Each structure stands twice: as structure tokens, then as C-alpha cells.
A and B are shown apart, each in its own frame.
Chain A
Amino acid sequence: MEVLKIATAGSVDDGKSTLIGRLLYDTKSLTEDKLEAIERSSKQKGYDYLDFSLATDGLVAEREQGITIDVAHIYFSTNTRSYIIADTPGHIEYTRNMVTGASTSQAAIILIDARHGVIEQTYRHFFINNLLRIKDVIVAINKMDLVDFSEERYHEIKADFQKLVVKSDYESQHITFIPVSALKGDNVVEPSTIMAWYKGQTLLEHLEKLDTKDIYNSGKMRFPVQYVIRPKTAEFHDYRGYAGKVYGGDIKVGDEVVVLPSETKTKVKEINFNGKKYKSAARRSSISIVLENDVNVSRGDMIVKVNELPKIEKQFTATVSWMCSKELTAGTKYILQHGVHKVLAKVSAINNKIETDFSGIKNNVNSLTMNDIASVSFQLNKPIFFDSFKEHRTNGAFILIDSQTNNTVGVGFIK
């Protein structure tokens, strides 16, 4: 089954939970017992409507405070494909959660309350979707019922949002505006009869028609070696399979490749999956490959095509999203995990802090606190094999691990 992951961010006030609830309800993905549980809880709280946030806010603390703290995953499916919504809170103190949710998504829904229009939070949501190179962005202008389903209001908000788009540097990003009323169900799954002036697709129609081949940013083929398969049985005595996932582009038998960091040239001899040999494998496939020559390859090495070498360097600058309450300061050392490759990294400089509302940068920054986004330069103990994040969404990203607590404390997008 094909899977499409969608990031959403926002607060209960935007009607985000109502929108998700509406998607689930109208695609018949909410089962009777879950619906009953929602009805029960809504009644207990004295609401005269169904509070769909109760379906998504899974932790006790969240239900108590009526907010979404973490990334929640919500599943629904249609006959076309399966959908996973990575739902995150929208406030500035949850920037790290939004970045996390967006990192695994190929599409995003930005919610705007039609009464309030484009607000500071809208800037941030769009900024994060840009930073993370989310290819398909849907701007859902919600609560149209509260502005009399006004076409004029819709165009006003759309025009305001376009002013943001001008500031973006991501030209191939696809942006769609849809006027909806999640509460009444207009243009979510069913087309609106009241807003007959809107000729576009409903939210679900738009998602259903997205071509997932298109929506993954393509790039050069990268094959990071995860694991070496050595059966050492009589039948497979000398077998050495390099297991990993193909990123960016396809891999074929006969491809001339280079193994990094040794820079040994060889050819792809076999592409194996589950006991069968294949001529080629599409990107995102978890396969194992056998090479023509007996070269020494281990976990963390990368196999690439001969004329498509990535950068092989020990220093670089990246946009970092900081996720830890302990501050990041220049001179501190971290474990840097780039794909499946771990090295040691030292922060050589914090260049500047980037405001998430497109208002620019702040210089002379000495440290980063949780949820900050900044330009940071690193020095590594060993080279890594990378592309810029803009050219390669997987090979241009890394995480930072605190070597004392072992926690993941930040994520970086290489420039």
C-alpha cells in the first residue's frame, strides 16, 4: 500500500482537531467504539458538539490541559492509499515538535482561521514547511462558516499569504488554497454547496490526486550501508551483501559505483531482495546489493554512482533546529549522526539566529535555547559524505546527540 505522510500544526482554536476529526469521520475511519468514546467524553465536559481533539490527544497531560504536546500519529485510508497525519502543536514553544513532524512528511496542511487571517503562527508554519522542503502545502482557510462563506474574505487571505510565498526560496513548492468549514464539513471530503464560487478540489480530493512519485524530492542516488549480511553457511559461504535503503534515485545492476570513504571503484553485481535477484530497484527500497569486486565496506560507508560524488568534507555550515533545554554553545562537542553514519562534531561557531517569521536574522548570538533555529558551523573528526539539504532531503540532514545523556538534541540541514 502506498503511504502519504502529512504534517499538520496548529492549536485547538484553529479547529485543527475538528478538521482531522472531520477527515476521519467522513472517510469512515472512526470506528463506532472510538466515536462513542468521543461522544462520552464530550458530554462529560458539557460540550454540545463532538470534540475530535479527544481522538488525537493521547496523553493524560494533554487531555488535562486540552493541548497537543507531542507529535501524534493519526491513520486513515481510502481505496487510493493510506494516510498518516503527523499532528503537532502550533505554538512557538513547540517549534521542535513541528520540525520533527514535518521531517517525515511529504505534504503539509497549514490552517488559517478565516476570522483572523494570516497571523504570526501562519508565518512560522510556512517557514518550517519551507525549511524542511515539504513539496506540497495545502493552505486550509477554515471556519468559513463564521465569515458567511465570503469569497472576498477567501481572496483577501490568499493574497496575504502570497506575500509570504514571495519571501520563500523554494520555487518548486506547490501551494494550494482551499476554503473549508471543518465543523460543517464543507470542502473537507464533500464539496461545499454553499461555496459554489470555489471551483477547486476538496481537501481529500487534493490529497488523493497527489502523485507520490512526484512528491518525493528527487536527487542523486545515495546508498548508505546499514549492515553487512554474511550468512557464513555452506550454501552462501562467501556471500557479502550490503544492506541499506536507496535514496534519491534508482540503482541498477551494472552501475559503476564508488564506495566512500575509500573511493574504490566497482560495479553493482546483484540487487537482492528476499531471495530474488532484480535488475534495478526504485528509490526508498530496502535492499541488499553485492559488488563486483571484493572491496572492504562497512556500516556508515556510502555507495554512489561514479559521476555523482557527494561532498566529502570535515567542515560545513548548517541550519540547526535546537531541541534541548540544555543550551548549544560554541566549542561544545556532540555525536553527529548523518543517516546511519556517526562521527564526532564540534560547534565551531554560531553564525546567527534565524527568526521563524521571515523577519530576518539576529547576529552576535552566543547560545541557542530550545526551539531556536540558527546557522551553525561544525568541525568533524572524520569526513561525512553529504549533499546540501536543498538538493537532497535525506543526504543533507543530520541529528545531534548529546554524548552524556544520549538524547537527540537537535537536527541540522546542511547548506
Chain B
Amino acid sequence: MTDKLHINDLENEAIYIFREVAAQFEKPVLLFSGGKDSITLVRLAEKAFYPAKIPFPLMHIDTGHNFPETITFRDKLVEELGLELIVRNVQDSIDQGKVKEETGRYSSRNMLQTTTLLDAIEEFKFDACIGGARRDEEKARAKERIFSVRDDFGQWDEKNQRPELFDMLNGNIDLGQNVRVFPISNWTELDVWTYIENENLEIPSIYFAHKREVFVRDGLIWSHSDFVYKDEEEEVEERMVRFRTVGDMSCTAAVDSRATTISEVVAEIRDSSISERGARIDDKRSESAMEKRKQQGYF
């Protein structure tokens, strides 16, 4: 038997939230993108329910424009942990005529995910969707609750949110409503990386420095790929890069990096002078880009 247990505050809080979800909801689901935040969530969920299995499935809303490394990683993790994975494709929403593919220079399927997600929530009657959003990422997210209620249309009413007092979480909802749950709300990017390092978690290879064909636009490094629009005159070059955040290829920019191990990544983040979402092309659309997307039901 080991001596006295001390768990760090953020982990305690996240585990507590996971248990509240399992106790207060009938059909929760963990939204899993294969990114570092959702990998962290899976680890925390394992700890929350051990020795029982995680009592809910994972779901990936696949834009079809993901980095192949992420998908390989996703499938491996699910198999190793014996979890159930649901995949719903943005391509299907496009084929059904529910959303229209964006065209042009800044086209991305990021916005289109919302429709696919809301349809899946309705299809499976999920009442709680657990996600890895963090308040330090972006200022609209800084206002998010831990249990964030969405109406029948999946919309966020940011001016009329439930107050959250002490650690009491009110999961009461009407039929048709659902709750978005953010167990790592209070973690920063560095907290996530430190946790990944301490827990020795495996993450997709694109988080580490590697050689990649890229081109530079508006000061950001874009991946050269079939899914990313590129002007004729935009020049492709090979560079040592890594990704700090993993959305799909059309909305995630790379950063120059030499960090090939987790401790090098942590050291790099510590010294970094650019915020994580500084490399998210989707946030650059306007100052309130995130708030608008969230109102419509985006994660």
C-alpha cells in the first residue's frame, strides 16, 4: 500500500466532473478528435471510473480532411482501451445537401462540423457531450460553464447562462436539450502538455517536429495537401514543423519547431510567445469568430 495520496487540483476537478456526468445523465458521449485535449480527457475518464470501463462511447465528427496520422492514432487508442467509437462524417452532411462545401482561398470544413454534430446528437439522443475545450484558449471560451446548456437547436445562449457555484453542477435539463461538458475548462495549454508528459501518454506524431511540405500565407504555415486551397503563386517548401493544435488540415497552421520529444515540446510551450489559437486559421475570421460559431452550436 502506498502512503498518502495527493492528486493535483486540476485532475481532482476533472475526475469529479466526469463522475457527475455519469451520475446525472442517461446518454453521455465523449467527443474525441484525436487531438491532445481529447486524449487527456480519455485518460482522466479512465481514472474516474477505474476498475470499471468508461461508461460512455467516444464520438468523432470526421471532416474527412483530418491528418491521416490522427485517424490512425484514434483507431489504435480505441482498440487498446476497448472503447466504443462512433464516427459521423461531414461528407455525408454535404451529400445529403444539408451543408454546402466552402470554396476559395480560406475554405474549410470546420464550420460544417456543427450540422453533423447536431444531427448525431439527435440520432443517438445524447444528453451530454463531453469536450476538451479550455477557457484559456479563447476569450469567448473563457465565459463557458463546465455544464453548458444547449437548447433544442443546439444553440448557446451566452447571456443567459446558469451560474456555477462551488463545485455543484446542475445537470437538470428539459427533454431535447443537451449539455456540453468541459472537464478541463480550467487547464491551460501548458497544464495539458505537462499532464501528457507526466502520464506518459501517447499522442499523434504530428505534434512532434517533422519535415513537411508547407507554404506560407498571411504569416502562417499551411500544410500542402489536396484539402487545402493554394494559389498558383504560393510556393511550396519543405520545413521542420510541428502542430500545437490539431483541427483539420484546412484550419490548422503549423509552427517551426525542432521539438521531437515531449519534454522538448513542454520546454517550447513554456517559452512560446504566441498563443495556441494564434495558429488557428478559423479564429482569425473576426474578433468574435468563436462566439458566433458557439452560438450556432459549434463546440
Contact = CB atoms under 8 A, between A and B. Distances in A.
B6 interface: yes
Contacts of A82: 10, 188, 191
Nearest to B161: A70
A96 interface: yes
B139 A55 contact: yes
Contacts of A323: 163
Nearest to B185: A73
Contacts of A407: 162, 170
Interface string A375-406: 00000000000000000011001110100001
B173 interface: yes
B48 interface: yes
A35 to B, nearest CB: 9
A227 B23 contact: yes
Interface in B133-164: 135-136, 139-143, 158-159, 161-164
A337 B49 contact: no
Contacts of A55: 139
Contacts of B143: 58-59, 70-73
A286 B12 contact: yes
A286 B170 contact: no
A276 B2 contact: yes
Interface stretch (A193-201, A231-239, A347-355): A231-239
Contacts of A243: 19, 48-49
Interface string A34-77: 10010001000000000000011111110100000111111101
A2 B48 contact: no
Contacts of A393: 166
Interface string B112-140: 00000000000000000000000110011
Contacts, number: 194
Nearest to B191: A1
Most buried by A among B22, B50, B274: B50
B110 interface: no
A411 to B, nearest CB: 5
Most buried by A among B135, B168, B186: B168
B142 A394 contact: no
A347 to B, nearest CB: 18
Contacts of B6: 282, 285
A117 interface: no
Contacts of A56: 139, 142
B190 interface: yes
B172 A335 contact: yes
B51 interface: yes
Contact of B291 (A59, A74, A286): A59
B42 to A, nearest CB: 14
B261 interface: no
A399 B168 CA distance: 8
* Interface size band for B: 35 or more
A232 B55 CA distance: 12
B257 interface: no
A148 to B, nearest CB: 36
A411 B170 CA distance: 12
A318 to B, nearest CB: 13
Contacts of B186: 3, 73, 75, 84
Contacts of B49: 229, 243
Interface in A157-212: none
A299 interface: yes
A279 B16 contact: no
A226 interface: yes
A317 interface: no
Interface string A263-281: 0000000011111111111
Nearest to A403: B172
A411 B165 CA distance: 8
Contacts of B173: 406
Contacts of A231: 51-53
B174 interface: yes
A1 B194 contact: yes
B39 interface: no
A383 B148 CA distance: 29
Contacts of A408: 162-165, 170
A100 B1 contact: no
A103 interface: yes
A275 B291 contact: no
Interface of A: 1-3, 31-34, 37, 41, 55-61, 63, 69-75, 77, 82, 84, 96-97, 99-100, 103-104, 226-227, 229-233, 235-236, 239, 241, 243-245, 250, 253, 271-282, 284-288, 299, 323, 335, 337, 339-340, 393-394, 397-399, 401, 406-408, 411
Interface of B: 1-13, 15-16, 19-20, 22-23, 46-53, 135-136, 139-143, 158-159, 161-168, 170, 172-174, 185-186, 188, 190-191, 194, 272-275, 278, 287-288, 291
11 contacts: A55-B139, A56-B139, A58-B141, A73-B135, A100-B163, A227-B22, A229-B49, A277-B2, A278-B3, A286-B7, A286-B11
